[in-house]
A and B are shown apart, each in its own frame.
Chain A
Amino acid sequence: MSASESASAYANAPFSAAEIAAEGIKPDEYAEICRRLGRHPNRAELGMFGVMWSEHCCYKNSRPLLSQFPTTGDRILVGPGENAGVVDLGDGLHLAFKVESHNHPSAVEPFQGAATGVGGILRDIFTMGARPIAILNALRFGPLTDPNNQRLFEGVVAGISHYGNCVGVPTVGGEVYFDGAYSGNPLVNAMALGLMETEEIVKAGASGIGNPVLYVGSTTGRDGMGGASFASAELSEASLDDRPAVQVGDPFTEKSLIEACLEAFKTGAVVAAQDMGAAGITCSTAEMAAKGGVGIDLDLDKIPVRETGMVPYEYLLSESQERMLFVAAPGREQELIEIFHRWGLQAVVAGTVIDEPMVRIRFQGAIAAEVPSAALAEDTPLYRRELMEQPPAYAQAAWDWTADRLPSCDRAGLADGKSWTAILQQLLETPSIASKNWVYRQYDHQVQNNTVLMPGGADAAVVRLRPQLIPKAQEAGTYNRAVAATTDCNGRHVYLDPYEGAKGAIAEAARNLSCVGAEPIAVTDNLNFGSPENAVGYWQLANACKGLADGCRAFGTPVTGGNVSLYNETLGPDGTPQAIYPTPVVGMVGLIEDLTAICGLAFQGRGDRLYLLGIPLGQPSETVTLGGSEYLAAVQGTVAGRPPRIDDALELAVQATCRTGIRNGWIRSAHDSAEGGFAVALAESCIGGNFGAVVTVPAIAADQRWDEVLFGEGGARILVSVAPEHINAWEAHLNDHLAGRWQPLGEVTGTGTLVIQTDGGDALITAPVADLSDRWTHAIARTLEG
């Protein structure tokens, strides 16, 4: 279509420019819709295109970038494109997992926004035939000193607690960061894991011409209208008026839906299944039809409703929760309907699979919409954008920063008189570092009886794997495998250097898994970014995707799926968009073959020897830096520098050594050094086990600063403790596999005091662990209490 034809289609549209824009459709896209249909769309069709061509549903900006991710591997059974990825964990155990965002709904209605985020990701898992076994959450908020951020934080946590607890899936891990970049645009990413309960993985592609199409689950109402397009636009004051675009969750119905669906799948009568998430009936019919290369003819009059007087547009765009679409084997629909009715759920035959590749929607005897399925779900618009040639000015300015700009310091502390002990105390009270017990105490993290390491007790969650059918006596003890899971992303690092920062998220996730003894296996990613239409936004997105792709290759962890959330920006009163830190959250799963060979982060006994794996203290390295560190932000009030560069070979060697040490029973605790650097990691291991420690830092290089040594981040570092009887075997292994990249540091003590000293015996930090523990444990609750 020429530019003039395109302009003419738009100009002659039976809709006003405002009506078209309200659906999130751009003028060129409108013309393209007319070309595909050979006519103007009607109101309902316009709405269907609006949601299906949103970034949330079709990845029109990110698809070219996502294509560089590695997606195959020995253990990968299902990669991107289905409701969730599936990996093989051996012993016939197949794990489905995925992460998804619910950022914008949570910004305007934190409780329901977060609750339905959990509900949505769980449906992605059980739609595949897997029983959900764990939930993790990656959350980002503005500073907790602001009452509005407190409201969002408390609301989101309450929403997750409400939904996850009721539905009976343990919330076992995740992360929470607080930073001004997320004020007004919090991030709520939920990740779920499930263990396949059916023999076959249930997929989404419709097949079998004439097969009945079943609508099951809850009723349809006007709630959540157009949520997908809403999720793909910037937030403004006016967004608060979009509250109807936020769905309302019912975890009780979801719990029944899980049981009914798994029961239904086991009958073998379900040919395909798709949950109704974003864009509800529109998305599920279009995707099932397009994936199967067929069409679906659906009658809206058959759909069970919760309110009267709805028009096709509302049926089609409703995002009422806890609904699914099935294709059933011919003649077996009644069998399925009875299962759902027994669980008190709706189930009706609402349509048929047809040969013609169309989504045809009927309403009150007439055809309400008729669109080629591929036009909605497969052959969607694609935008290739130009990458700016030079890094943006903000990044170049940040990279000019060096530690020389910091106030001078010595062994006692900063020149302004602040001691290193006081700074450690301050860092432990920083909400991003402080204990998240206020959060995870509100989540049932033990239901299902498989949670091996509790939240806060280790660098990754560990969940025992056992078959879903309850075994007979004496077999119970024979299930010895576990899955470990983590979510990671340091948004500040990604902001300062999208490539290294994103790669760093992969490295950190793999490191966290290694710290519990798990072998990293696969990744699901949630790309939370600002607008890609902005040159800087696209530069961040493109470089971060490259970093993720390279990271996944380096660590042997293919991507099996995920989610893209763009336009995470708030429009200020003057209309200038303010983007969040680019935050590509990495959800990674790992395998533990022997449940008895795992470890947490807490010190286990006095006299255990401490070792630092990775770049030794006092050894200058470009992989260890204060650039982008929590110390720089929290203590010096500066966001600058280059974040740590990731040394793949070093990371891999350190992580493998840590896993071997755990498997051989040498290592009794392992904790990675991340935000706050070595000193914070050491303090956290002391607090976790209620032990003291004495650590001696060897002589440092002449140009090194003490804050760099204590609080610098990076270096692939893991702090481990080893029982004295194993140190010979352990050190021999270190010399063979990690020569020059490890350091003995001191030992765990029973004195209740943390001491970090120079090799001359001068104290750098001396603090009672009880005091550090009190600050770290209660910081978030105290901030909320004001």
Chain B
Amino acid sequence: MKFGIIVFPGSNCDRDMQWVAQGILGQPTRAIWHEETDVADCDVIVIPGGFSYGDYLRCGAIARFSPALRATVEAAQQGRYVIGICNGFQILTESGLLPGALIRNRDLHFICDRVALRVERTDLPWTSGYGAGQVITLPIAHGEGRYFADEDTLKRIEDNHQVVFRYCPAPGQAVDSWQNPNGSLNDIAGICSDRGNILGMMPHPERAADPAMGNTDGLALFEGLVAQALAIA
């Protein structure tokens, strides 16, 4: 399964993603420069974390106009796999591939931490490596990760079961005083498209996929995807 990782000026998780796809999973992997228009050779397109074009206007607001993203939109419409992580999720909502928006964290500070997430559905290639309702721990690192959508949209994505990851209390943590880290509506940490081929998430699975670093809760996401692709092939 060939991974294509978009590199915008200001992307800073592209190399981490490449390490996981190529170095850990052993999959063919290439960088997609933001000015490229042809991504037909890639089976999965990763929009990595970072600060695309500096994100000075609004996170992801410029990146959505890049040639590589236009090509990604087309690929997504054809049903190819697209995952946006952190800044990539912001870009996916800016470009309209996923509903809603990501706004300033509730406490207005950047947050870097490890948080618990509940896997809400396991019938997607992205999550086939997890158990139903499994609670995993992934790193987060964002200043604008508070998921927001109007009531109708929120109802629609809930009704369609588009919420893939939800922040939840860590096992053993008191439930009554718990609140999610950034103020996201419905504790949403990651959602997918109607068809499920597009996934956007604020937590970083690629930062929890290397056994040498300890936590490997994110590895199953990529392994599940690769396994699924092999099954189809």
Contact = CB atoms under 8 A, between A and B. Distances in A.
A168 interface: yes
Contact of B51 (A255, A454, A474): A255
Interface stretch (B14-22, B127-135, B191-199): B14-22
Interface in B208-233: 210-214
B19 A447 contact: no
Contact of B54 (A250, A448, A464): A250
Contacts of A480: 212
A251 interface: yes
B102 to A, nearest CB: 16
A395 interface: no
Contacts of B23: 470-473, 475-476
A595 interface: yes
B77 to A, nearest CB: 29
A441 B114 CA distance: 10
A477 B13 CA distance: 20
Contact of B112 (A344, A443, A448): A443
B156 interface: no
Contact of A344 (B9, B49, B141): B9
Contacts of B25: 473
A251 B56 CA distance: 10
Nearest to B172: A690
Given A446-B207, A477-B211, A255 B9 contact: yes
Interface in A554-568: none
A446 B112 contact: yes
Contacts of B54: 166, 250-253
Interface string A451-482: 11010000000001010001111111101100
Contacts of A440: 112
Contacts of A443: 110, 112
A474 B111 contact: no
Contact of A442 (B49, B109, B211): B109
A477 B10 CA distance: 28
Interface string B1-34: 0000000011011011011101111110100000
Contact of B110 (A161, A343, A451, A475): A161
Interface in B100-144: 109-114, 139, 141, 143
A654 B35 CA distance: 57
B48 to A, nearest CB: 10
B100 to A, nearest CB: 23
A250 B27 CA distance: 35
A450 interface: yes
Nearest to A343: B9
B148 interface: no
Given A161-B110, A441-B111, A441-B113, A255 B12 contact: yes
A447 B109 contact: no
A78 interface: no
Contacts of B55: 166, 252
Contacts of A364: none
B114 to A, nearest CB: 8
B206 to A, nearest CB: 7
A464 B56 contact: no
A168 B113 contact: no
A464 B213 contact: yes
B213 A447 contact: no
Contacts of B15: 448, 470
Given A250-B54, A255-B9, A444-B110, A477 B212 contact: yes
Contacts of A250: 54
A441 B142 CA distance: 10
B204 interface: yes
A441 B9 contact: no
Interface in A207-255: 250-253, 255
Nearest to B53: A252
B88 interface: no
A310 B40 CA distance: 50
A165 B144 CA distance: 13
Given A161-B110, A441-B109, A449-B206, A168 B26 contact: no
Contacts of A477: 211-212
Contacts of A472: 22-23, 26
A94 interface: no
Given A256-B9, A449-B19, A442 B112 contact: yes
Interface in B46-90: 49-51, 53-56
A446 B12 CA distance: 11
A477 B18 CA distance: 15
Nearest to B31: A470
Nearest to A250: B54
A428 interface: no
A480 B211 CA distance: 12
A164 to B, nearest CB: 10
A475 B212 CA distance: 12
A126 B74 CA distance: 38
Nearest to B22: A470
Interface string A145-167: 00000000000000001000111
Given A452-B213, A472-B26, A165 B110 contact: yes
B16 A251 contact: no
B19 A168 contact: no
B112 A168 contact: no
Given A167-B12, A442-B110, A448-B16, A252 B211 contact: no
A449 B16 contact: yes
A5 B19 CA distance: 67
Contact of A252 (B10, B18, B213): B10
Contacts of B18: 470
B214 A452 contact: yes
A252 B51 contact: yes
Contacts of A441: 109-113
Contacts of A444: 110, 112, 141
B73 to A, nearest CB: 23
A161 B143 CA distance: 10
A601 B16 CA distance: 27
A374 to B, nearest CB: 39
Best-buried of A161, A446, A475, A479 by chain B (most CB within 10 Å): A446
A445 interface: yes
Best-buried of A161, A251, A470 by chain B (most CB within 10 Å): A470
For the complex of A and B, list the 10 residue pairs with the smallest distance between their C-beta atoms, beginning with the closest: A168-B12, A473-B26, A252-B54, A476-B23, A449-B16, A444-B141, A166-B51, A442-B110, A256-B9, A470-B18
15 contacts: A166-B10, A167-B12, A252-B53, A440-B112, A441-B113, A442-B109, A442-B110, A442-B112, A447-B13, A447-B207, A448-B16, A464-B213, A470-B29, A476-B210, A477-B212
Interface of B: 9-10, 12-13, 15-16, 18-20, 22-27, 29, 49-51, 53-56, 109-114, 139, 141, 143, 204, 206-207, 210-214
